[in-house]
Amino acid sequence: MEIPPSTLPDNRFSALITDLLPICRSITGSGVTRTLERLQQEIPILIREVPSGAPALDWTVPNEWNIRDAWVKNSRGERVIDFKKSNLHVVSYSTPVNATMTLDELKPHLFSLPAQPTAIPYRTSYYNESWGFCLSHEDLLKLEIGNYEVVIDSELKPGFLRYGELLIKGEVEEEILITTHLCHPTMCNDNLSGLTVATLLAKMIAESSPHFSYRFLFIPGTIGSLAWLAANEDHLGKIKCGLVLTGVGDPGSPTYKKSRRADSVIDRVMEYVLKSGSPKFEIRNFSPFGYDERQFCSPAFDLPVGCLMRTPHGEYPEYHTSLDNPDFIKLESLQDTLRICLRCFELLENNRFYLNLFPKGEPQLGKRGLYQAMGQQTKDRQSLQLAMLWVLNYSDGGHDLLDISLKSSLPFDIVTAAAKLLEECKVIRPIPSAHAM
């Protein structure tokens, strides 16, 4: 897999974001379908359907929710809250309402953020039937005593949970899993950033000839990964490692949250990629809250799946509010995340275990044309020669190339180049990682 930096599709981001932004997504409903159909214009995603009521491990797939319109009108007939203006105004999964009520009766159903008076909060009630409206605290304070017409023209009834899945077949069946959630309406960092990066990533990998297979999931949070895990339990052994992409567009520097295993290959590779390529970054230990890594890293699965984000959720004031809008996310952040992912996959693809076929003493490099005599080496050639000695000494079945790069303090790419030269001369041979010690 070789992807020149010049092919990074800068302008594709804005096109996708513009199209996806207005759609009212939730964990089910037509918003999900329309989102997936738009992504299908980029990559050949399959849309999977799981019926309401189907078990998903300890959970049950909920009814499908759809909404046409919703408003609160004051006594003058003015829409003081209007779903048409922002789909954040309605608590996701609100049951239908059509009633007239006093402000006091309405208030328990209204949610605002007193500390952020201009922001509309984002609220959901997936598994607990209720209804509500979200609005800015400023607007809440403007509501006068009186009667209000309250309408939520929604529908909650048996239907389907839908998610998108794309398998890009590589030379081997072993898979790298990339997932992102698609259940948030309107907001940009959470979750259009993950959706767009994953989509463009899939597009670029599909155009390369990867060694590993790559599986992309575009899933509603929690219930989506649970449904996928339930349907694919027998398949999980093929997953080499994975990444959950979430909140990857804000101006913050990258944050990588390790898998529960903490020292799996994705954790080691991501640490190398960030240390060697990002001036500022953070690496956090696994914790059982966050996004779908919670499910992939639950104790019985314990998959080597980490989570790549920028500023972690809840640690920026725009999180889960109407302030998480197109102005908040940065093209540079999206591109940088894409670059980090591609570099990560490049390392994963190259990071083999090799076996030194001449492990007694050093093999003679000179007779194979691998040794430059009499000190006339350039500095690069010196590093390469050094890297060959490191690869030879540690290709004992217990160290992959990344280990050797870290042990030797030589760049991974030089270690890889040395390994390629040695492999060509049949001094070392790759072994499956399953055969490594």
By CB under 8 A, name the binding residues for a second copy: 56-59, 91, 111, 123-125, 127-128, 132, 222, 225-226, 229-230, 233, 260, 287-289, 294-295, 297-301, 356, 358-364, 366-367, 373-375, 386, 389-390, 392-396, 408
Question: Which of 86/222 has CB closer to a second copy?
Answer: 222
Contacts of 18 (CB under 8 A, 6+ apart): none
Shortest CB 189 distance to a second copy, Å: 18
As given in the structure block, the two tokens for residue 255 are 């944050």
- The one-letter amino acid code at 36 reads L
Question: Which of 90/229 has CB closer to a second copy?
Answer: 229
Question: What distance in Å separates the CA atoms of residue 375 and residue 382, rounded to the nearest whole number?
Answer: 9
Contact 233, 239 (CB under 8 A): no
Shortest CB 320 distance to a second copy, Å: 9
Contacts of 73 (CB under 8 A, 6+ apart): 79, 80, 148, 149, 151
DSSP 93: T
As given in the structure block, the two tokens for residue 256 are 């990588």
Helix-strand-coil percent breakdown of the chain, rounded to 5?
35, 25, 40
Shortest CB 190 distance to a second copy, Å: 15
End-to-end Cα, the chain, rounded Å: 27
Closest CA to 17 of 147, 137, 189: 189
Question: Which of 217/334 has CB closer to a second copy?
Answer: 217
Shortest CB 296 distance to a second copy, Å: 9
Question: Which of 228/345 has CB closer to a second copy?
Answer: 228
Contact 120, 136 (CB under 8 A): yes
Question: What distance in Å separates the CA atoms of residue 360 and residue 369, rounded to the nearest whole number?
Answer: 20
Question: What distance in Å separates the CA atoms of residue 317 and residue 310, rounded to the nearest whole number?
Answer: 14
Question: Which of 106/297 has CB closer to a second copy?
Answer: 297
181 strand-pairing partners: 219
Shortest CB 230 distance to a second copy, Å: 8
Question: Which of 91/338 has CB closer to a second copy?
Answer: 91
Shortest CB 229 distance to a second copy, Å: 6
Question: Which of 277/411 has CB closer to a second copy?
Answer: 411
Q: What is the DSSP string of 127-146?
A: TS----EE--HHHHHHPPSS
Shortest CB 257 distance to a second copy, Å: 13
Shortest CB 161 distance to a second copy, Å: 15
Instruction: Report the interhelical angle of 412-424 vs 401-408 (nearest 10°).
Output: 120
Shortest CB 179 distance to a second copy, Å: 14
Question: Which of 77/375 has CB closer to a second copy?
Answer: 375
Question: Which of 128/378 has CB closer to a second copy?
Answer: 128
Question: Which of 305/344 has CB closer to a second copy?
Answer: 305
DSSP 149: E
- Residue 191, preceding bond cis, omega within 30 degrees? yes
Residue count (the chain): 437
Shortest CB 138 distance to a second copy, Å: 20
Question: What distance in Å separates the CA atoms of residue 345 and residue 1, rounded to the nearest whole number?
Answer: 9
Give backbone dihedrals phi and psi of 155, rounded to 5 degrees, phi first. -145, 130
